[in-house]
Structure 1
Amino acid sequence: MKTRNLLLLILLSLNLQLFAQTLSPDQLQADFALFRKVLQEVHPQMYRYTSKQQFDSLFAATQACLNRPMTQHEFYKTMLPLLVSLRDGHIKWIVSGKDEHYPFFTDSLFPLKLYFVGEKAWVAANYGDSQIPEGAELVSINGQSINSIKQTLFPNMTFSDGYTVQGKYEDLNHFFSGYYATHYGAYATFDIVYTLNGEEKKATIPAVTEQQIKDYVQAHKPASQLPLRLAIDETKTAVLTIERFWDDKKEQKYKPFIKDAFRQLKKENIQHLILDVRNNEGGNEPFGVWLYSYLAKQPFRYYDHIKVARKEKYSFHAWVPKIYTKVIRKYMLKKTDDGYVFTFPKGLKTSKPKRNAFGGDVYVLINGNSFSVTTEFSARVHADGRATFVGQETGGGYRTNSSGMFTILQLPHSKIDLGIPMFGFHMANVPDYIRHGQGIEPNHTIVPTIEDILTKKDPILTFTRQLIQSKSTFAAPSSGPVPSK
């Protein structure tokens, strides 16, 4: 027993030493220099939203801060403003071996699941035993207002393209406890102020662990459903749900499902199609092109061009997909006046509508987690005026999306993994009025309330059905004379 206790003390001592270990200025400067080199050689358009002059100033200011020893945590936070300035939701900055949302603290986490709208947040669930009433509005944590906390976190969150913010709201709704710990620290208890039925109350609530949060999420998962679903109701309105743009051999094959779904829509003579791509964070680019070919009414170009940073080999060692180094870099990159472009993808060529392409009215449901390939697809639909959009702005950018393949490098001293998307996808025929850095903005913005969240109501789908019904009623021929008053 004494030997076992001694071993535990030794292991604990080693862990504490690792946690408290600092990086020297020389180590920090070396990781910083490599970080900068990797961004400049890999990212397809580093200066898309932040000019080179602005970036040079940011790099200089950041480098000047690395003149003293820092912990891994301090270095991680010091570098975040550079990553956020890319305004690229695909960028990865992950402490090696850690969950990206809980990089430093796995115990002593904030115990409430929150739902954010604007400057406010409500309690959506208790991860532990605090039993704060669901639906209560949270006013402050440890003396700081919810809005001030949000204002601190937003500039340090990377999950959004361009100037969109809805993806950040979605991230806070799912991972607030991790973000709070990273930027405010871990506490055994939290002093909160909340209001319920107009009455302000105070409470001190105990922390939870990362495992408790994950156990709660697992226990409260919605009933299992296939990720690709088609439902046709008695009004002959179809709802096509696409939760992801990739194949899973254990579940469904994407292309055969889409082909069969649109064959059925034609057979049933469906005139109204609701396409639900909320919470679909993307997948394989060709799958978006494939789906749009079943909605298009005329030949179309999906992409205008696809940017890459360079054709030369990188000046550093990193993980790069073999198909890129063996095939794409050698045979599929073309030099232009504006750098290199990727020439192979089918979406660059003119595509024709499929045989069973849907010709009726389309309604696309979107939110902040509609991202990457989902946003590209939505942009093509929107640019061609092919659908009415309902919900909230996408987290992905309308004009451009950086994704495709990733170069991944671990900084040698800080042991933080940097993942950079290698292709910049530019959508074709984007309307001139689309602002630089915006997402796909819905024709009808519908924001679920905390009551909707708690009662599992879907106001976005309900509104869309009502929209279809009102349109059908308005368009329907009169069955007789209108009675006089």
Structure 2
Amino acid sequence: MKIQILFLALLILSGFRVKAQTLNPEQLQADFVRFQTALNEVHPEPYRYTPKPVFDSLFAATQAQLDRPMTQQEFYVTMVPLLVALKDGHIKWIPAGQDEHYPFSTSKLFPLNLYWVENRAWVVGSYGSESIPNGAEVLQINGKPVRDVIQDLLPKMTFADGNTVNGKYEDLNDFFSGYYATFIAAPDAHEVQYRWAKEEKTVTLPSVTLDQIRRYQEKHKSAPQKPFRLTFTEDRNAAVMTIERFWDDKKEQDYARFLRESFRELREKRVENLVLDLRNNEGGEEKYGVLLYQYLALKPFRYYDYIRVRQKKAYSFPAWSPKLYQRFKWLVVRKRGNGYVFTKQAGLKRQKSKREAFRGKLAVLVNGASFSVTTELAARVHADQRAIFIGQETGGGYGGDNSGIFAITQLPHSKIDLGIGMFGFHMANLPTTIKPGQGIIPDHIVVPTVDDMLTGNDPVLKKALQLIQPRAGAAGSSITTR
């Protein structure tokens, strides 16, 4: 499990807040040593994307900065470049008891909901009572061009594997106000220059609170839907399977049952074209990705090549990790070359397709929030040339990720929780043409516009249906629920 167990553990460790406390250099150095020790003993592959000499230089430069008193926020920000250098989107760095995305300010937050595409931003909503027209392009924030704002924030964001950036943009779409307050400023009001109807204007908007942002999000939340859905085009020639997450809540839906019944229905109805929508699916349990591919694969396959583990012995520092793993790791961790591998994972074995496996034409939709287990599945599908891909590059890495079971330690003085995925997953049988650090790049890149966001238009799905059933007319491409 890559999500629920981690956050449960962070809740257990949380509760002590030192936001206003000033830490002296000795305390900062002690926390730095704990941080470095944890990475060295837990992270399966700290040099997967950044060479060790570069990392060593960065460690030395960061440690040299800890020669003066700092607040918790100053220390947090100072350490972030080390986390970014890991290029590991699963890494967690959260002050105890705080919201992950609003760790230091729950007031004085930027008041607009923005939609980001590359170096531009548009208004798609307002958290406060004073606003700017939806669809207006934001040109400057507090006197700083939007291009400079984004170039300031991207190097401080960790939600990306390897060299991917789309996950960071998706994070900004959801949490820009938190990132701005953490890394740039949290003023009482924000000056915004924008362009609307070919005119440029400047307004000053009062800041908002996190409660206001959450009320806005609750008000504008989409109508509740099941996390796993199967829908059909009107002509019944194509179906769309949406998987919002790779874990289930038995009170809502049973994932295995959904797959079993859905693929049986596809077979009974002789559906020839399937769109698999994995957008905004940040992952879950590895076995769920393997199970879904058993219903899509045309031949036997290997899912993972190997799963790296840093060490087998106990850690030299206080850390939380699942007791079951601690008890049985001597059985499931084996020596391999100069390191260790985890062996108890069904995806390491040769897998067979299900009898009800879909054998028609397949299209897969992905974006920057397609991450973790989702990217692993997408990598397997893409590497086996099983589908065409539409959308935007995934936030997860093509070659694998560092996740699985987490070890969590709380730095003793700053009280910041550091969560590290203990397993380095490597996908099997990958193309030799992929570049180090890339995600899954779609065959057809489609980026929604601000108008699409405001009107609910879905150009990615429309493009997929056009590609997968080119002979169908516009009416045949309409989606109806089962």
TM-score range, shorter chain: over 0.9
Q: Quick check: 442-451 or 19-28, which moved more? A: 19-28
How many angstroms apart in 1 are the aligned matches of 2:272 and 2:377?
Answer: 21
Partner of 1:379 in structure 2? 379
Cα offset, 1:131, TM superposition: 1.9
Provide Cα deviations, 1:232-276, integer angstroms capped at 9, x if missing partner.
222221100000111202101111110111011100001000000
Q: CA deviation at 1:469?
A: 3.2
Matched residue SS, 1:186: coil
How far off is 1:471 after superposition?
Answer: 5.5
Compute the displacement of 1:21 (Å): 2.1
Following the alignment from structure 1 to structure 2, what is the Cα–Cα distance between the partners of residues 280 and 296?
20
**SS of equivalent residue, structure 1 residue 283:** coil
SS at 1:61 equivalent:
helix
Q: Which amino acid aligns with 1:326?
A: R
Structure-1 separation of matches of 2:219 and 2:203: 26
Q: 2:314 is matched with which residue? A: 313
1:42-441 correspondence to structure 2 within 5 Å:
42-235=42-235, 236-327=237-328, 329-441=329-441
Which secondary structure does the structure 1 equivalent of 2:107 belong to? coil
| Structure 1 residue 19 displacement after superposition | 4.3
**SS of equivalent residue, structure 1 residue 213:** helix
Aligned-residue offset at 1:118: 1.4
CA deviation vs aligned residue, 1:51-82 (integer Å, no higher than 9, x gap): 11111101100000000000000000000000
Deviation digits for residues 180-232 of structure 1, max 9, x if unmatched? 00111211111110001111111011110011001100111000000000112
SS of residue in 2 equivalent to 1:162: coil
Which residue identity is paired with 2:181?
Answer: A
SS of the residue aligned with 1:56?
Answer: helix
Q: Is this contact kept in 1: 2:362–2:468, CA < 8 A?
A: no
Offset from partner CA, 1:85-113 (integer Å, 9 cap, x none) = 00000000001101010000111100001
> Structure 1 residues 129-138 or 232-241, which shifts more?
232-241
Give SS of 1:59's match. helix
Q: Percent identity?
A: 59
Per-residue displacement from partner, 1:133-182 (whole Å, max 9, x unpaired)? 00000000111000100000000000000000000000001100000001
Larger RCO (CA within 8 A; separation ≥ 6) = 2
Matches of 1:350 and 1:471, distance apart in 2:
37
Q: Secondary structure at the match of 2:213?
A: helix
Work out the CA distance in 2 between the residues paired with 1:192 and 1:356.
Answer: 55
Q: Give the AA of the match of 2:462.
A: T
Counterpart amino acid of 1:108? K
Count how many residue pairs are aligned between Structure 1 and Structure 2.
456
Secondary structure in structure 2 of the residue aligned to 1:102: coil
How far residue 334 of structure 1 moved from its aligned partner, in angstroms, is 1.0
How far apart, in 1, do the equivalents of 2:347 and 2:415 lie? 38
Q: Which whole-Å CA distance do the structure 1 matches of 2:416 and 2:269 have between them?
A: 53
Amino acid at match of 1:94: I
> 8 Å contact 2:19–2:104 — kept in the other structure?
no
Q: In structure 1, give the amino acid aligned to 2:456.
A: K
SS state at 2:102 partner? coil
d(CA) in 2 for partners of 1:469, 1:405 = 41
Cα offset for 1:122? 0.3
CA RMSD of aligned residues (A): 1.1
1:349-376 CA distance string (max 9 Å, x none): 1111000010000000000000000000
Question: Cα distance, 1:464 vs. partner?
Answer: 1.1
Q: Distance in 1 between matches of 2:303 and 2:116?
A: 34
Residue type matched to 1:455 in 2? T
Give the structure-1-normalised TM-score.
0.93
2:34: which partner in 1? Answer: 34
Give the number of the structure whose alpha-carbon radius of gyration is greater.
Answer: 1
SS, match of residue 32 in structure 1: helix
CA deviation profile, 1:320-347 (whole Å, cap 9, x unmatched): 11121011x1101110114100111111
Query: Aligned AA for 1:243?
Result: E
Alpha-carbon spacing, 1:469–1:299, altered in 2? closer, same or farther (3 Å): closer
Does the CA-based 8 Å contact 2:391-2:446 persist in structure 1? yes
Runs of 4 or more, structure 1, over 3 Å off, are: 17-20
Pick closer, same or farther for the CA change 1:18–1:262 going to 2, 3 Å: closer
Check the 8 A contact 2:18/2:72 in 1, yes or no: no
Deviations 1:258-309 (A, max 9, x none): 0111011100001000000100000000110000011111100000000000
Q: Residues of 2 paired with 1:79 and 1:269: CA distance? A: 55
Q: Residues of 2 paired with 1:22 and 1:123: CA distance?
A: 37
Instruction: Give the CA deviation at 1:18.
Output: 5.6
Q: Which runs of 5+ in 1 are unaligned?
A: 1-16, 474-485
Cα deviation 1:365-389 (Å, max 9, x = unaligned): 0000000000000000000000000
| Residues 1:456 and 2:462 are matched in the alignment | no
Equivalent in the alignment of 1:479: none
| Partner Cα separation in structure 2 for residue 358 and residue 436 of structure 1 | 31
